[in-house]
Amino acid sequence: MTLLVVAVGYGGSRNVPPSGAAHVVGVFVVVSIPIMLAASVLFIVTGFAVDHRSLYVRRMLWSTRIELARVRQIWRDPDAIKGSIRIFGNGGLYSFSGIYRSKRLGKYRLFATDPGRAVVMVHDAGTVVITPADPEAFLEHVRLLFPDAQGNPHEAPRSTPDRRTHPIS
C-alpha cells in the first residue's frame, strides 16, 4: 500500500499543470500524500498493555490510556467490526483506529491491526474494540484483574478463570 500511495504521489507530481486552478489542486494532492503517510505511521497500533486500572494502546510515540476500572463485559469476537462504518479515523493504512459505528455494537472506539483477533470491552464510558496478538491470554489477564467483567451477553455464563498470569502484547 505504501508503494501504491508513493507511486500515485510521484505520478501526480509529474503531471501537475504549470499554472491555473489545476496547478493549485495538483500541488495540494502531491503535498497531502506524504503528510497522510506520516500521520498514518504515527497512529500505528504497536501493542497493548494492561495494569490494575487501565488499558494502554501503544502507538509509535505515545500511548492512549483507556480506563478499565468499570469494565462490565469483555469477550472475543472475530466478527466485531464487520459491517461497521468509520465515523472518524484510519480505515486500514497500517492499522484501523478511530471512532466506528455498527448495528451490533453501536458507537465504539477501534484500535486494530488484525480484525480476526478482535476483543470487545464494554465499560461505563463506552465500547472499545482492540486486537491483541493473543486474544485468549489478554481476556484471561483482564478477567483476573477485573473479575466482575462478564463475557459475551449472547453466550452462556463463563466459569471463573484460574489465577495464572500470562504475558500480553
Q: Quick one: pLDDT at residue 155?
A: 59
d(CA 39, CA 76): 29
- pLDDT band at 135; cut points 50, 70, 90: very high
d(CA 44, CA 22): 33
Asked whether residue 131 carries a pLDDT value surpassing 90, the answer given is yes
Asked whether residue 69 carries a pLDDT value surpassing 60, the answer given is yes
Average of per-residue pLDDT values in the chain: 85
**pTM: predicted TM-score of the whole model, two decimal places:** 0.77
Asked whether residue 162 carries a pLDDT value surpassing 50, the answer given is no
CB 168 within 8 A of CB 139: no
